[in-house]
Amino acid sequence: MGYAMVMGEALVDLLEAELDGERVYRQAIGGAPLNVAVGVARLGGEARYAGTLGDDTLGDRIAGFLRETGVGDRGVRRVPVPTTLAVTTFEGAEPTFTFYGEPPSYALLAPADLDPAEVAGAAVLYAGSICLLRRPFLDAARAAWAVPGPLRVFDPNVRPTLLPGAAAVTALRDLAEEFFATADLVKLSAADAATLYGEPDPAAAAAHIRSLGAATVVVTDGARGAHLATADGAVTLPAPKVDAVDATGAGDSVMAALISRLLSEGGPTTPGHVDFALSVAGLVCERRGGATAMPTPADLAARWGVR
């Protein structure tokens, strides 16, 4: 089993909650790529993280959390800016994010910060999410993506609050399609597909992204499950029934679970891999928080039995 190199943002979520009848905001370490790295490690895979952290107390907490969860941090760079905050509000269990901090602490990784040998030695390379909207991180992601060797997995992780108009959506779609074209696996949500393409049907969105060059596409659709499209055909798999309290990090846990299966079994992604990923996401939805909600195999066995 090799390791996964995960590139992207780490930040602090401020999660809307109630305490003694008052609205409060609870700190939680997050950022989609960091959630993915932690999820892979919690599931027993080796994950290495490459990104930038602020040089403040919150950055120290993120760095400590990476070490505690066993995520490799050789690719971490500390930068002299405050840690970005994501204020998170909810409609039911579904989160909406508003980001604070300029320049964003998570987007300052440059190509020169990468170790090409570490990228090339990875079994899986993950890139994606909101860090791609900013330089120099985009340049670093492109440089890593061009290194031959790893399976390349991508998640656009669209955040509409960062897209101020139609031109911004078009720019993000063009950028995402650049990565789709050479990806071994693309994971996105039905909401992502609706924003990028105005396409609410997961099957149609997956077929379109495969036509751009992606080998395998998984489109998650909340409680309705996920659609898998490969060269061998397409199938929609149901999600387990859960009492969801917080969907923060659910999509990231799907990606983490898919990567863990790629590390242990290799590619391509199968319906069994997606079924496993949906069981991981179901358990995450029953917990509060993002990275801290990522389960272990023991957690999954206790909730679902052996999977």
In terms of pLDDT, which residue wins out, 288 or 221? 221
pLDDT digits (tens, 9 = 90+) for 152-209: 999 999 988 888 899 999 999 999 999 999 999 999 999 999 999 998 899 999 999 9
pLDDT given for residue 246 in this prediction: 73
Sign of CA dihedral 111, 114, 116, 119: negative
For residue 236, the SS3 value is strand
CB atoms within 10 A of CB 198: 9
Half-sphere exposure in the Cβ direction for 51 (13 Å, CA)? 39
For residue range 5-16, what is the model confidence (pLDDT) as tens digits? 999 999 998 877
Q: Left, alpha or beta for 21 (phi > 0: left; psi -120 to 50: alpha)?
A: left
Reported as a single tens digit per residue, the pLDDT across 94-116 is 677 788 888 999 999 999 999 99
Q: Encoding tokens for residue 243?
A: 């009492």
Secondary structure of 42-105 in the HEC alphabet? HCCCEEEEEEEEECCHHHHHHHHHHHHCCCEEEEEEEECCCCCEEEEEEECCEEEEEEECCCCH
Position 225 scores a pLDDT of: 94
pLDDT of residue 93: 54
Asked if residue 269 has pLDDT above 80, the reply is yes
As a whole number, mean pLDDT of residues 20-49 equals 91
Residue 283 sits at φ, ψ, to 5 deg, of -70, -40
pLDDT per residue over 58-75, tens digit each?
999 999 999 999 999 999
Q: How buried is 201 (Cβ within 10 angstroms: 0-12 exposed, 13-18 middle, 19+ buried)?
A: middle
The rounded distance, in Å, linking the Cα atoms of 229 and 207 is 7
pLDDT of residue 307: 54
Q: Which two tokens stand for residue 229?
A: 């499209």
pLDDT at 211: 97
Q: What are residue 218's DSSP bridge partners?
A: 187, 228
- Which residues make beta-bridge pairs with 217? 186, 229
Evaluate if residue 263 carries a pLDDT over 70: yes
> What pLDDT sits at residue 98?
80
Residue 239 near residue 222, CB atoms below 8 Å: yes
Q: Given this model, what pLDDT does residue 113 score? A: 96
pLDDT of res. 250: 87
